[in-house]
Structures are given as C-alpha cells and as structure tokens.
C-alpha cells in the first residue's frame, strides 16, 4: 500500500504557508526522491498529477510535489486558484526560494513528517512541467544536492513573450492580465515580476545556467503538438546542453493528454509514456 503524507511549510522570506505532499511505498527502505514542480497556472493536485505521484511511488521513488507559495492556491482553501493578489505578486525568485526551502526541509530531521528511513537524498532529482521546467533547471544549476533533472514541456527563456510594447503597457498599468482558459478568470501579473527578473538576471537566465552551470544529467521532454510552449524550446534547451537526452512525443499536447479535473484512475496515455521514460532515466542516475 502506498503512503500519502501531506505537510505544510511556511516561507522564510515571505511568511506565506504552502502545501506539499509525498507519496511512497512505506517499507523503511531508503528510496530515491523526486521533487515535482508544477507550471504557470498549475498546482500540485492539478488533473492527473496525483496519478503521477502514485506511478512514481510504484516505481520505487518517493514522489514529492508542492504548491509554490504564490501560485494562487490557499492552504485550507478550495484547492484551485483563488488568491489572485498572491498570484500577481509571484516571481521566479520566490519560486526558487520555495523549492530550495522544500529541499532544505527534506534534509532536516523533524522539518517534515516524512520518515528519514524512507529517503535517499543522495539520489535527489527534480522534474518540472512548463514554467516549472525552467525552475528545476535553475535550481539544479545553483544546488549541488540535485542529482538529475527532467523537464516536461519547459520554457527556454523567461522573457520570451515580453516585447517592448507589452513591457511599456505593463509598466504603465502596473499589471498584465492573463486569461485562465480553464476557468475564465483574468489572472493578474504585477510588474514586479519584470523588476525581479531584471534585478536577478544571472540567477534567472535559463540558457546561460544550462550552458555554464548545469553538470547534472538532463532529460528534455516535449510534445510535438504542444500548443502552449513551442517545440522549438526543447531544441533550444538541447542545443544549450547537447549531452542531454531529448524525448519528443508525437501528437502530445502541452499537458500530455491531461485535463483538470482528471476523471480517470490511470494516467492519460502520453503522460504515462513520459512518466515511464522519466522514471527509467532517473533510475539510471542512481
């Protein structure tokens, strides 16, 4: 039987609580740890992500996923995006700090309810989807605890859609509204995200970090029918690290067949393929 262990962390920098959980087969044997990071407008229990957790746990991993603190989800809330002001105040530095705090907590006795005997933190890997793919690349580049990285439909450049006209209007208005196509919500992005990027560009430059500061093995996965992040992004990342493994999934869209809510008990077929190939890749790094 699989164990599902939820826990709460409170941001050291911002004081906002954020939720995480771990799924694993409780057998008191140390297992490699996979930390999964959701993307823009995503959250840890989106669609088929719980089924992903079960899949990796069945493959012998401890699968940890988190809600980034400013993704709009409220601890004890609906489980969906509802704190739009927090969403607007989000930025990449906050997200990297959240991820770093989670990694610290996993390695600190008593910081989480996870039994230390279940965790082999010498075999710690990061997997990220979409914008979360960029985050795991950046975190691995600055954190030697990370053994391997896998990106699913990752962006290759944070400011890829910030043209001069967009930036000028964004600065004038103070916010940019982006639609949530699933719910119809207009989601605010405050201009501070641009200011944070400019102030922390060396830390947040994806391609420079992948090219110069990413020694870990890397798997790059992208759907050939991705309607959100162009397939070119995968080729750009691969060019930055030619030794990376590249998996292009024919016919797969941005969510690899998933949707929210996800009605099935099993993974959608493209997501199942991606999960299996990722688990195989990570097992080879152990």
Q: The domain containing residue 266 runs over which residues?
A: 2-159+201-284
Number of structural domains (the chain) is: 1
47-59 burial by CB neighbour count: b if 16+ within 10 A, else e? bbbbbbbbbbbeb
For the question of whether the overall pTM of this predicted structure is more than 0.75, the answer is: yes
Look at residue 29 and tell me if it is in a domain.
yes
Look at residue 182 and tell me if it is in a domain.
no
DSSP state of 185: P
Look at residue 260 and tell me if it is in a domain.
yes
> Which H or E run contains 254?
none
Look at residue 175 and tell me if it is in a domain.
no
Look at residue 173 and tell me if it is in a domain.
no
Distance CA 251, CA 236 (A): 20
| pLDDT of the chain, 286 residues: tens digit per residue | 999 999 999 999 899 999 999 999 999 999 999 999 999 999 999 999 999 999 999 999 999 999 999 999 999 999 999 999 999 999 999 999 999 999 999 999 999 999 999 999 999 999 999 999 999 999 999 999 999 999 999 999 998 778 899 999 999 999 999 999 899 999 999 999 999 999 999 999 999 999 999 999 999 999 999 999 999 999 999 999 999 999 999 999 999 999 999 999 999 999 999 999 999 999 999 6
What pLDDT does 29 receive?
97
3-class DSSP assignment, residue 129: strand
What pLDDT does 275 receive?
98
* 221: CATH: 3.40.50.1820
What pLDDT does 18 receive?
98
What pLDDT does 159 receive?
81
Look at residue 128 and tell me if it is in a domain.
yes
Distance CA 61, CA 52 (A): 11
Note if the bond before 261 is cis, omega within 30 degrees.
yes
Look at residue 37 and tell me if it is in a domain.
yes
Look at residue 277 and tell me if it is in a domain.
yes
What pLDDT does 222 receive?
99
């Amino acid at each position: 039987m699989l164990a599902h262990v939820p826990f709460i962390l409170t941001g050291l920098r911002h004081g906002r609580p954020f939720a995480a959980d771990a799924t694993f087969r409780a057998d008191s044997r140390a297992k490699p740890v996979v930390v999964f990071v959701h993307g823009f407008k995503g959250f840890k229990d989106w669609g088929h992500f719980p089924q992903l957790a079960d899949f990796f746990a069945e493959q012998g991993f401890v699968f940890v996923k988190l809600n980034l603190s400013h993704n709009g989800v409220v601890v004890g809330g609906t489980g969906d995006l509802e704190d739009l002001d927090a969403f607007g105040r989000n930025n990449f530095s906050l997200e990297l700090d959240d991820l770093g705090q989670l990694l610290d907590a996993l390695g600190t006795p008593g910081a989480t309810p996870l039994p230390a005997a279940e965790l082999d933190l010498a075999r710690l890997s990061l997997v990220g989807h979409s914008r979360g793919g960029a985050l795991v690349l950046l975190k691995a580049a600055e954190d030697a605890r990370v053994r391997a990285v896998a990106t699913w439909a990752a962006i290759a450049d944070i400011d890829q859609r910030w043209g001069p006209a967009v930036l000028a209007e964004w600065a004038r208005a103070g916010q940019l509204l982006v639609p949530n196509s699933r719910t119809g919500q207009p989601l605010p992005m405050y201009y501070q995200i641009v200011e944070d990027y400019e102030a922390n560009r060396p830390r947040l430059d994806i391609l420079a970090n992948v090219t110069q500061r990413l020694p870990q093995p890397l798997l790059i996965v992208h759907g050939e029918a991705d309607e959100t992040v162009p397939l070119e992004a995968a080729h750009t990342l691969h060019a930055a690290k030619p030794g990376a493994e590249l998996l292009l999934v024919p016919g797969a869209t941005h969510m690899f067949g998933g949707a929210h809510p996800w009605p099935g008990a099993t993974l959608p077929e493209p997501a199942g393929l991606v999960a299996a190939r990722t688990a195989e890749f990570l097992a080879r790094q152990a």
